[in-house]
Amino acid sequence: MDRLYYEQELSRNNLQPHDYLGMKFDHENQRIIVRVFCKDAKNIEVHNKKVKDRTYPLTEIGDGLFEGVMGKCKKEFPYILRCEGWDGKFWEMEDPYAYPAIADSGVISGFQNPSYSEGYKWLGGHVMEHDGVQGVQFTIWSPNAKRVSVIGDFNNWNGERHILSNIGHTNVYSIFIPNLTEADRYEYEIKTQSNDLLYKCDPYGRHFAMRPSRHTLPYNQNRYQWNDEQYLQKIKGETPVNQPISIYELHISSWRKPDGHSLTYRSLAEPLIEYMKWLNFTHVEFMGILEHPFDGSWGYQVTGYFAPTNRYGSPDDFKYLIDQLHQNNIGVILDWVPAHFPIDDFALECLDGCRVYEREGLHPDWNTLMFDYGRREIKNFLISSATMWLNEYHMDGIRVDAVASILYGGNLSSTWADENAVNFLKEINFQLKSMHPEKIIIAEDSSTWHGVTTKVEDHGLGFDFKWCLGWMHDCLDYLGTDFIYRRHHHDEITFSLSYMNAEKYMLALSHDEVVHGKSPLIYKMWGDWWQQRAGLKLCYGYMFAHPGKKLLFMGSEFAQTSEWDEKSQLDWHLTEFDDHKQIMLFTKDLNEVYVNSPALYHEEKLWENFEWINGDNLDTLVVSFIRKTQEQELVIVLNFSQFVYENYPIGVNKAGTYKEILNSDDWKYGGTGRVNHEVHTPEGDGWNWKENKIEVVVPPLSIMIFEHKPNN
């Protein structure tokens, strides 16, 4: 085979360098030959690994192309190449074409079929072993490439050294390169049909070099040893809708910077666990974990869908953090972004010179690219990403960002849904819930789509929970309204309770509410400083008493007084002052009441769990309702006015004693100290169309929670 013939083969779309390079049996002449392509070498010898004295020189037959006959050998044997460079230096190397292009060609058929979710196990750059030799298997799907090479320091970034084979002409390209390690940076050199060379990071890359480097790193996905089996067994079989879910939303880089630098995955574990346990949150949701090049995107413009960002450590370091959280009974939710991806030319954008991952056009609001949800391989890419985070990283759930944008193709004013996107969401949710019914799938959704949390088999989208943005907007608007006008807007604060059965909701006060000029939550409350703090506690209390799971952004638990800035840490100095300590203590105790009160989190049958007492008293602005299970009954009283009401009657179902288990006006929370302790129902005296009543002191801007205790 001459150089011209070889170059012709390189230019073919169905390129198979493994058919020509490496050790081959020449059937015509009944002999073994070896072909090597290496422009860096002046001379190359083949050394038999089994018989050390057996060496065979190769002859250069073209520019960098060597070929030689292995003497009288009739059978293939393991070998190593000894090369002499043009500078007179010698080195030894394994021949990548001595190994199969891909370990298991059968996986490719699965990649192109529906319901395939495990592409992450073999696509990308994986550290593995072939025939006792350690190395890295590189595999990429590139449907329009003329040639795909992997380049790095290991081949002087020369795209002719390690050309991948197109396996079975499926446009899945692969090669095993011996002796590479997790420290070897790489990227793909892709020759387009117009002969342009593109340099791309690995779409299935599992580990990326530190920004601004654009290189990918191989990864050994089987090395980390988990120690959270007890936790995983505990949650197995649980139904999320009937579990307490109180999420602390966290951005690692801006949470704490003890020495001016953000914490790493490993150094974060201990202080975060201690803090989460003290505050009684059940879950932490991590923002900005998927690899992304631009800090200012907060992780919402993703270039690495299979890699935790290297900003805070390695993939195994991130596994360590999750492992430690699980060992302390803290669940982990991942912010996951399948709605769009950035136009960075080193990533998914026009991967091989054509639109591969993206549909036509840019997102109208974000100037980013939108996934082609109608293409099987793209759906499998995204399903595989979500599956990997749940399987390999033991995530307890994912929050799917921008579901409305997915449904309507980025056009939020449209009334016509993208049917491909709808089918994608149904498909991914059905698969994930089939594999992991205990995992939590949350839709960050601002649409009016009906059935977001209805099961796929019942014609819904299949999410577990949908963000209740209506509750968030109405609540903050109402609590920011002057007291004298609130009676005219009172339906805002109760409206969400009229549609609470429409979906299964998550009530969120997220990072979106404290950036871009929106002000921190404390300053969204109406009134003077005391009233603002009381209003914030009332806001949190209403969120936890209202049906739906909970999410609170970091810093809000102690009433941060500045907008969130991803470049700075939270204002931890505020926690030295009583006004902020008291709100933090209230958040802690509110969480404790929530996780210990099934009546507040058993929500599978809300029509049995919730009961009105009074929601339309425009004179007092006092709202009251009941949350209950068969074993527990709680009476919730909220005062949205600045006035105190003595001996205020509240209708209740059951006679007996009602113990006040939380009162936001307690001295310890910075209130006026108007607490009730225990109250009793007088005999034969009802109220609010209930058979019984209690009379309580209702402090200003407060929430009280009473638990029924039967009389002996």
Helix (H, G, I), strand (E, B) or coil at 187: strand
- Give the burial string for 140-162 (b: 16+ CB within 10 Å, else e): bbbebbbbbbbbbebbeebbbbb
Tokens 């639109």 found at: 355
Write the pLDDT tens digit of every residue in 532-548: 999 999 999 999 999 99
Residue 115 CB-half CA count within 13 A: 5
What is the model's pLDDT at position 7?
A: 56
What is the model's pLDDT at position 264?
A: 97
**Backbone phi, then psi, for 521, in 5-degree steps?**
-60, -40
Provide the mean pLDDT of the chain: 93
More reliable by pLDDT, 660 or 296? 660
Write the pLDDT tens digit of every residue in 115-127: 778 899 999 999 9
Cα separation of 537 and 247, whole Å? 17
Q: Averaged over 678-706, what is the pLDDT?
A: 93
Which residues are tagged catalytic?
401, 444
The distance in angstroms from the start CA to the end CA of the chain is 98
Residue 385 has pLDDT above 60, yes or no: yes
What is the model's pLDDT at position 414?
A: 81
What is the model's pLDDT at position 3?
A: 53
pLDDT class of 457 with cuts at 50, 70, 90: very high
Residue 55 has pLDDT above 90, yes or no: yes
**Backbone phi, then psi, for 583, in 5-degree steps?**
-70, -35
For residue 72, the 8-state DSSP code is T
What is the model's pLDDT at position 1?
A: 44
- Portion of the chain with pLDDT greater than 70, in percent: 98
The contacts of residue 439 (CB under 8 Å, 6+ apart) are 240, 390, 395, 396, 397, 398, 432, 433
Cα separation of 53 and 155, whole Å? 28
pLDDT class of 306 with cuts at 50, 70, 90: very high
Residue 172 has pLDDT above 90, yes or no: yes
> Which H helix or E strand runs over 6?
helix 3-10
Residue 32 has pLDDT above 90, yes or no: yes
Cα separation of 619 and 602, whole Å? 32
What is the model's pLDDT at position 305?
A: 98
**Backbone phi, then psi, for 454, in 5-degree steps?**
-85, 145
For residue 392, the 8-state DSSP code is T
The contacts of residue 363 (CB under 8 Å, 6+ apart) are 340, 369, 370, 405, 410
Residue 210 has pLDDT above 80, yes or no: yes
Q: Averaged over 3-26, what is the pLDDT?
A: 70
Q: Do residues 679 and 657 make contact, with C-beta atoms less than 8 angstroms apart?
A: yes
Please report, as a single letter, which amino acid is at residue 620. Answer: T
Write the pLDDT tens digit of every residue in 324-373: 999 999 999 999 999 999 999 999 999 999 999 999 999 998 999 999 99
Write the pLDDT tens digit of every residue in 427-455: 999 999 999 999 999 999 999 999 999 99
The CB density around residue 100, as the number of other CB atoms within 10 Å, is: 18
pTM value is: 0.95
Nearest residue to 342 via CA among 390, 291, 391: 291
Q: Do residues 544 and 600 make contact, with C-beta atoms less than 8 angstroms apart?
A: yes
Write the pLDDT tens digit of every residue in 612-666: 999 999 999 999 999 999 999 999 999 999 999 999 999 999 999 999 999 999 9
Write the pLDDT tens digit of every residue in 78-104: 999 999 998 989 999 999 999 998 877
